[in-house]
Amino acid sequence: MIGRKSIGENAESERGQVYTLEGFAAAAVVLFALLFAIQAVVIAPGSGGAVDRTAQAQTQQEVQDALVVAAYADDGDGSLSELVRYWANREDFESHNVEDHFVEYFVLGEILDSHFTGSGTGDRYGVEFVYLNESEPENVGLVGSSTNDPTAVTASYTATIYEGQNVTKLDNGAVVEKTENAEIEDETYSRLPSAETGSNPVHNVVEVRVTVW
How many Cβ atoms sit within 10 Å of the Cβ of residue 78?
A: 25
89 plus 22 within the same structural domain: no
- Checking if the pLDDT of 41 tops 50, the result is no
Contact 108, 80 (CB under 8 A): yes
Contact 159, 81 (CB under 8 A): yes
Say how many domains are in the chain. Answer: 2
22 plus 67 within the same structural domain: no
- CA of residue 163 relative to chain centroid, distance: 32
119 plus 83 within the same structural domain: yes
84 plus 134 within the same structural domain: yes
pLDDT at position 35:
43
Q: What is the pTM of this model?
A: 0.74
113 plus 61 within the same structural domain: yes
Contact 209, 191 (CB under 8 A): no
User: What's the CA gap between 120 and 77, in Å, rounded?
Assistant: 26
127 plus 171 within the same structural domain: yes
Closest CA to 130 of 184, 164, 189, 87: 87
115 plus 144 within the same structural domain: yes
75 plus 21 within the same structural domain: no
Closest CA to 202 of 149, 164, 169, 168: 164
30 plus 79 within the same structural domain: no
Confidence of residue 8 (pLDDT cuts 50, 70, 90): low
109 plus 162 within the same structural domain: yes
94 plus 163 within the same structural domain: yes
Range of the domain at 100: 49-212
What digits encode the pLDDT tens for the residues 133-150?
A: 877 899 999 999 889 888
What digits encode the pLDDT tens for the residues 157-169?
A: 999 999 889 999 9
29 plus 73 within the same structural domain: no
